Amino acid sequence: MATIFEQIQEMGIKQTVITKLDETVERLTVGMNINDIRSALRGDEPRRPNPRLRPHADSFWFHIRPSFYHTEVTHIYPTFRLGWLSTFMFVWETITGIILMVFYTPSPLVAYSNMWNILGNVPLGQLMRNMHRLGAEVMVLVVALHMLRTYITGSYKKPRQFTWATGVILLLFTALLSFSGYLLPWDQLSYWALTVFLSGAEAAPTPPGIDPDVFNGNVLLIAQGGPALGAGGLLRWYLLHVLLLPLLTGIFFFVHYYKVVLYGISLPPGREEIGEDTAKRVPRNERTYFTPDIATNELMWSALTTLFLVAGSLWLWDAPLETHADPVVTPLHVVAPWYLSWSQGWLKLADKTLVIGFIPLLLVAFIVMPYFEVGKSRRYADRRIALTVAALFFTFMLVSNWMGSPEFRVNSSPDREVSIELLPEEGTSAMLGVPYDLMPEGTYLPGQPISGNPHLTYALEEFQAAMYRHSCTLTGNSTWYECVFDESTPIETRKYSNHFSDDVMPDPTAQLVVEEIQPGLKKLTLKYKAVSPANPEEFLIDAEWVKYRHADSNYETECRFANKSC
Amino acid sequence: MQVKIVIGTVAFMLTMMILGFAVLREPARLSQYTDAAKGRSIEAGAHIFENNCATCHGVDGDATECYNSAGEQVGCQGLPLNNYDLLCGDPTYRMGTLNWAGTKEDFVKTTISAGRFGTVMPVWSEEFGGPMRPDQVQNVTDFVLNWESEDLCANEPVRYAWPEAAADYLASADGSAGDATNGAELYVTYGCSGCHGDTALEGSNAVGPWLGDIADVGNTRVDGLDAAGYVYQSILDPNAFIVPDCPTGPCASPSAMPGTFAARIGSNPTDMADLLAFLLGN
Ligand code: HEM
């Protein structure tokens, strides 16, 4: 072997550099030199022996990928790229998550201010946070859809039962990852969502022969890291989020994907004989090679997904950040993340213990399902029952989710309902979104038009609309619905209802008072009065709701995002 | 395949352009969010102040209008916070009087966290056994500091040098012409009646001793002080002597009577003579 100096003497500097570069590339790709890569990208036929197959045998990164796919499974149908997308989202979450980790300390003393530091002090910090949080939601969605598709195409059937089983575990981990991350900002949203969910542990069914108080109490203690969620609990959930769950998800992913490669991606059901599995027997003319076709396809989807996530995080979707977690102040409506709303819906249907016992059973049922559902045919026409069951289950989940979502919540007093719609304790609203300078000191009435001030006018319209939904009339006042009430209850304790709600204010008056109490700080007070029908001297409702609004608080910026209600 | 490469490349370039745009607007956005964090902290502080501090420091923070938890107006026990001495200049006047060497923010924050020993200002931070988390202390600190404004700091208040002895004051131009009628009004507007009740009605006092007979009792409290000297001292420095009996048992030490009257009456020194004329003339 000639030394580098001898090569330079022989070929000149330029040629040596080119040769060395080529060699390096060939080593890095484990088999393909620059010309091979160019020809692959041009779509030329490979030379023989085919250098494009060598990486699949010899390199670490490529050996887990098959060297070719059945052309039938490379189209959008049957996979819809959902398994690939799940993998992409997992990688995406890992990368953005590691960056966020740099700026985060899992302690109740600083976690929340860390979030504001990420938003206000770390360049591109908000983008990073939005991308991570949006990514988490997209990932849950994508994984669930992936599951739905493997069910619909019957891909869980023999020999892929175990692939399905590991998949169910992956779904569980995905949900847990998302949920454990939910706690980390340590704001009211995260604190109470977790507290409410963990309190489920208290109602969980106890193994026979064990004292439920001891058992459930200890489970809760372990999950919370103390009598209430605190420093211990935050650290625990943080470690789950950044260490244990990603590790387990990674391990299960490789098992899952190993099985996928081992059996091949199942062909569209109509493409094979009933009872056969031909995914691994791919005739030469139906092969689509990884290099270059699958690789370029995946790169394209990576670029498109990245584009979507970056643009979405910048303009469409904004991660919420509420006020600091406060163990002694329970928000009026604790909202579960949407992908867990169904469980809150179930709680309205059945006893807590039943619901909490049912969820693990359901999970086990999913895992073992393919070992019992052994119908040979994957064709849709032969699986009417299976597909109907899926459709029913899917509908049931959607309905449960709707029932558990905030629209279907237990109401508090009507004046509070109006108040939290207009001046919510957390987040933004039409009224908070009025720019500071366009909210002059004064007293305003619902629906009052303010000339030259569309923002405030709109907010006051919303005020009127909310009042309308939570009021009724006993005196024929045409502003409100006629009151409906039960004549048999005594007048002192009567509840009045209208078309929308069964606890409303009879003939109320309301106003908004704006005062500037400090430079750049306004006090917004909503005042309600309703005379008691039993005794005109007394008030049935005489309530106030105060919210402070600082000029710099940025509520109007939040209003620009599609996921914020203004 | 070529199409895919083109689509992928275009998507990648678009992403880079978007990121470039994000980078360009980043400095403005960062400062916007830094301000927002402060703004929201002040909002949270306003709620905390309303619920915990206004009973002593006044609804507007100037220690003039205070209500107890039942909603009745009471005398303000705290110092004014919406106030030149606490907020204006650096170091502020208050920092100077207490030899505080740190920053203004630390002065306020430490006072709130640890309370003030020897006064009724309570401890607030969990760290020292109070009820508030560190972030809440920070919130209310931000709120208190937010009272600083150009208007507030435009004019330094005149500080009145109270003579040591009542006799010297009463002999001065400010003290010589006491008006008992005006004194009766001041007794209410300064909030004395909130604690001491109506001087014409024994037993109407809620917090402090009844003052209807102070013209006599005042002579007996402290050796060497006559009633005028004693009342003068009681107003200017409530802790100098703690009265044995208050309506709800022995008077607490430190005194529940605010130490702020020296400064407040100091901006209108003749008020002292009027109050004395009212209380002693009765
Ligand atoms: C983190 C979550 C998951 C990841 C990263 C993942 C990844 C993948 C990938 C890359 C494939 C290749 C084919 C395709 O794109 O469809 C696949 C196939 C498969 N996955 Fe998943 N998966 C996940 C969750 C699940 C879940 C929740 C289930 C169902 C319970 C599931 C069941 C299956 C099955 C049965 C196949 C074989 C499909 C076939 O051969 O046609 N996976 N998965």
Phi/psi at A521 (nearest 5 deg)?
-135, 120
Does A139 lie in the same domain as A221? yes
Task: Write down the pTM of the prediction.
Answer: 0.87
pLDDT digits (tens, 9 = 90+) for A499-532: 888 899 999 999 999 999 999 999 999 999 999 9
Predicted local confidence at residue A500, as pLDDT: 87
CA dist., res. A333 & res. A315, Å (int): 27
- Ligand 1 binding pocket includes A84 (Cβ within 6 Å): yes
pLDDT classification of A10: cutoffs 50, 70, 90 = confident
Helix, strand, coil in percent for chain B, rounding step 5 = 55, 5, 40
Does A208 lie in the same domain as A106? yes
Q: How many domains does chain A have?
A: 3
pLDDT classification of A210: cutoffs 50, 70, 90 = confident
Alpha carbon distances (Å) from A124 to A113, A154, A310, A481? 17, 44, 11, 50
Cite the beta strand spans of A33-92 per DSSP E: 68-70
Q: Which chain B residues touch A105 with a CB distance below 8 Å? A: none
Q: Which of A302, A335, A368 is the last residue of a domain?
A: A335
Atom of ligand 1 nearest to the CA of A82: 15
Atom of ligand 1 nearest to the CA of A83: 15
| Helix/strand/coil for A283 | coil
Look at A521 and B35 and tell me if their CB atoms are within 8 Å: no
Does A119 lie in the same domain as A6? no
Interface contact A303, partner B, CB < 8 A: yes
Please, are residues A467 and A510 in contact by the beta-carbon 8 Å criterion? Answer: yes
Average pLDDT over residues A332-339: 82
* From B4, B15, B133, residue closest to A307, measured CB to CB: B15
Does A302 lie in the same domain as A448? no
Is the pLDDT at A410 greater than 70, yes or no? no
| Helix/strand/coil for A380 | helix
Which residue from B271, B186, B21 is spatially nearest to A124, judged by alpha carbons?
A: B21
Q: Is residue A425 part of a domain?
A: yes
Does A272 lie in the same domain as A218? yes
Predicted local confidence at residue B258, as pLDDT: 82
Alpha carbon distances (Å) from A74 to A83, A148, A290, B3, B135? 12, 19, 10, 16, 54
The proportion of chain A whose per-residue pLDDT surpasses 90, expressed as a percent, equals 71
| Nearest Cα residue to atom 22 of ligand 1 | A83
Interface contact A105, partner B, CB < 8 A: no
Does A118 lie in the same domain as A25? no
Average pLDDT over residues A345-366: 90
Predicted local confidence at residue B117, as pLDDT: 81
Average pLDDT over residues A277-306: 94
Predicted local confidence at residue A407, as pLDDT: 62
Predicted local confidence at residue B87, as pLDDT: 96
Average pLDDT over residues A272-299: 92
- Ligand 1 binding pocket includes A257 (Cβ within 6 Å): yes
Distance from CA of A519 to the nearest CA of B (A): 7
Alpha carbon B68 to chain centroid, angstroms? 15
Please, are residues A432 and A547 in contact by the beta-carbon 8 Å criterion? Answer: yes
pLDDT classification of A177: cutoffs 50, 70, 90 = very high
Phi/psi at B192 (nearest 5 deg)?
-60, -40
**Structure-token pair, residue B33:** 């969010």
* Domain residue ranges in chain B: 57-145, 166-280
Which residue from A179, A201, A404, A428 is spatially nearest to A320, judged by alpha carbons?
A: A428
| Nearest Cα residue to atom 7 of ligand 1 | A83
Interchain CB contacts (distance < 8 Å): A and B:
131
Whole-number CA gyration radius for chain A:
30
Which residue from B38, B10, B35, B29 is spatially nearest to A318, judged by alpha carbons?
A: B29
Q: Which residues 540-559 of A have a C-beta within 8 angstroms of B?
A: 546-554, 557
Half-sphere exposure (Cβ direction) of A431: Cα atoms closer than 13 Å: 33
Predicted local confidence at residue A74, as pLDDT: 95
Q: Give burial (CB, 10 Å; 0-12/13-18/19+) of A56.
A: buried
Residue to test with chain B: of A553, A557, A559, most B Cβ within 10 A: A553
Is the pLDDT at A140 greater than 90, yes or no? yes
CATH number at residue A246: 1.20.810.10
Does A322 lie in the same domain as A448? no
pLDDT classification of A278: cutoffs 50, 70, 90 = confident
Does A73 lie in the same domain as A32? no
* From B9, B12, B39, residue closest to A550, measured CB to CB: B39
Looking at domain B166-280, its CATH architecture is Orthogonal Bundle (1.10)
Is the pLDDT at A57 greater than 60, yes or no? yes
Predicted local confidence at residue B255, as pLDDT: 86
Is the pLDDT at A408 greater than 70, yes or no? no
The proportion of chain A whose per-residue pLDDT surpasses 70, expressed as a percent, equals 99
Q: Is residue A208 part of a domain?
A: yes
Average pLDDT over residues A436-448: 96
Q: Would you write out chain B's pLDDT as a tens digit for each of its 282 residues?
A: 889 999 999 999 999 999 999 999 999 999 999 999 999 999 999 999 999 999 999 999 998 899 999 988 887 888 899 999 999 998 999 998 888 889 999 999 999 999 988 778 999 999 999 999 999 999 999 999 999 999 999 988 878 899 999 999 999 988 888 999 999 999 988 889 888 999 999 999 988 999 999 999 999 999 999 999 999 999 999 989 999 999 988 998 888 888 878 888 988 899 999 999 999 985
| Closest residue in chain A to residue B40, using alpha carbons only | A553
Q: Which of A290, A317, A335 is the last residue of a domain?
A: A335
- Ligand 1 binding pocket includes A70 (Cβ within 6 Å): no
Instruction: Kindly state the DSSP code that residue A45 receives in the 8-state scheme.
Output: P
Is the pLDDT at A31 greater than 90, yes or no? no
Does A79 lie in the same domain as A29? no
Q: Is residue A439 part of a domain?
A: yes
Of residues A2 and A476, which shows the higher confidence score? Answer: A476
- Domain of A433 in residue numbering reads as 415-565
Q: Is residue A268 part of a domain?
A: yes
Choosing from A64, A72, A150 the residue with most ligand 1 atoms within 8 A of its CB, the one to mutate for a pocket test is A150
Q: Is residue A134 part of a domain?
A: yes
Q: Is residue A191 part of a domain?
A: yes
| Nearest Cα residue to atom 23 of ligand 1 | A167
Predicted local confidence at residue A283, as pLDDT: 93
Q: Which chain A residues touch B2 with a CB distance below 8 Å? A: 43
Q: Which chain B residues touch A88 with a CB distance below 8 Å? A: none
- Ligand 1 binding pocket includes A305 (Cβ within 6 Å): no
What ipTM, to 2 d.p.?
Answer: 0.91
Q: How many CB atoms lie within 10 A of CB A245?
A: 21
Average pLDDT over residues A357-368: 95
Q: Is residue A54 part of a domain?
A: no
Does A75 lie in the same domain as A15? no
Is the pLDDT at A241 greater than 80, yes or no? yes
Interface contact A123, partner B, CB < 8 A: yes
Predicted local confidence at residue A331, as pLDDT: 85
Look at B43 and A551 and tell me if their CB atoms are within 8 Å: no
Predicted local confidence at residue A411, as pLDDT: 66
CA dist., res. A428 & res. A422, Å (int): 9
